[in-house]
Amino acid sequence: MKIAIAYLTVVLVWSTTPLGLAWSTETVHPSMAGFLRMAIAIVLGGICLIVWRIKVPVHGRALKLYSFSSIGIFGGMFLSYLAAAYIPSGMMSLVFGTSPIVTGLLAYKLLDEAKLSVFKVMGIIISLVGLIVVFSDSIILEKGAWKGIVLISIAVVCFSFSAVLIKTVKIDIHPAATTIGSMFFAAPMYLFAWFVMDGTLPVESWSMRSMLAILYLGIFGSLVGFVCYFYVLQKLSTSTVALVTMITPVFAILLGAWLNKELVTLNVIVGAVAVIFGLALYQQKSNKRKSKLQNA
């Protein structure tokens, strides 16, 4: 039951995160928005660790785990913040939906997982074609959309690479400790990025919506979301965890259209269906194979 609740929480949080990214960076520089998000999560998370008497280990393997985790927390997340200026939140979530494919390719190389079957290759091709259809309108109509596509694509690679590297560290650690330890690694990176890219604090121009979005992302997007994410990552396979990103794009696109007035064209609908179908095809074969191995 705990795993199911944590898994559902990750789905809900990740469905709302892209919209939160878009709103938080409307009036706040992406690097500062990311740093404030980390700071809120670290303070609240630190209080929780004290109350729950959870220790954050600082030995070699723990530090290695935090550094691997920060690749996704800073690399994947910060690039997503930057991409939010160029592409809609729903599209961001859809591209992140392809992370099971990237995770599978990296896991094959780094974790010696199963080779790509014909079904997996077909799933990859269908998903990629779907993404091309989704972005066809944006590339033509939206100036600078290609920058967002490049940024979010690299973000997916960082996120998937982080997830695979985490699985290589054999350590028994509380998910909350992993979350706070990883954010201690990531927070200075956001601060450095802010110093290099902006270095100003025009607080008077920050809107209430941006501030509330940062607060939401700090509490739920970072603290609650990542605790649940690291928990299910410990208990389930990387491919099963990555399956979350096949569910969230649907909710993210609907939320973006409803709350942020994002345009949902026929190309977006057709492309999204193709991406999700391709991901389902990609995952189905591996699940069947896994069940056969378990029954053998």
Instruction: Report the distance separating Cα 156 and Cα 118, nearest Å.
Output: 23
Residue 182 burial class via C-beta count within 10 angstroms: exposed 0-12, middle 13-18, buried 19 and up: buried
Is the pLDDT confidence value at 286 over 70? Answer: no
* CB distance 262 to 130 below 8 Å: no
* Distance in angstroms between the alpha carbons of the first and the last residue of the chain: 27
Domain range spanning residue 122?
2-295
pLDDT value for 12: 92
**Averaged confidence pLDDT in the chain:** 87
**Could you read off the pLDDT of 35-71 as tens digits, one per residue?**
999 999 999 999 999 999 999 999 999 999 999 999 9
Query: What band does 99 get if pLDDT is binned at 50, 70 and 90?
Result: confident
**Could you read off the pLDDT of 219-238 as tens digits, one per residue?**
999 899 888 988 887 788 76
Query: What band does 177 get if pLDDT is binned at 50, 70 and 90?
Result: very high
- Does the model's pTM come out above 0.75? yes
pLDDT value for 139: 61
Number of domains present in the structure of the chain: 1
Is the pLDDT confidence value at 289 over 60? Answer: no
